[in-house]
């Protein structure tokens, strides 16, 4: 149970950091089109594939960090 809680804690921490950093870059890199001024624009979807890759990367990193912190004796 301890291993699971450490893994979940590391995973959630990594996930939150990834979301904050990617949101920072998306916000900083956004420049509105001057031709659309005054028009209402729907929503935009950013990077579905990067979400999956980022989640897998964080899960892998969290797994190895949790194994290193626990120090399994095998």
What's the pLDDT tens digit per position in 23-39?
Answer: 888 888 877 666 666 66
Query: Residue 24 domain-assigned?
Result: no
pLDDT at 35: 66
CB atoms within 10 A of CB 7: 18
pTM of whole model > 0.85?
no
Q: What is the dihedral of CA 44, 11, 62, 3, to 10 degrees?
A: -160
pLDDT at 5: 80
> What domain count does the chain have?
1
Report yes or no: 17 and 68 within 8 Å, Cβ to Cβ. no
CB atoms within 10 A of CB 45: 6
Query: Residue 1 domain-assigned?
Result: yes
Query: Residue 64 domain-assigned?
Result: yes
Owning domain of residue 55: 1-11+51-68
Segments in the chain below pLDDT 50: none
Query: Residue 44 domain-assigned?
Result: no
Query: Residue 36 domain-assigned?
Result: no
């Amino acid at each position: 149970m301890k291993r699971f809680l450490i893994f979940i804690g590391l995973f959630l921490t990594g996930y939150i950091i990834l979301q904050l950093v990617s949101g920072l870059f998306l916000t900083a890199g956004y420049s509105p089109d001057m031709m659309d001024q005054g028009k209402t624009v729907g929503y935009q979807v950013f990077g579905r594939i990067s979400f999956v890759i980022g989640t897998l990367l964080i899960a892998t990193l969290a797994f190895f960090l949790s194994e290193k912190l626990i120090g399994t004796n095998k």
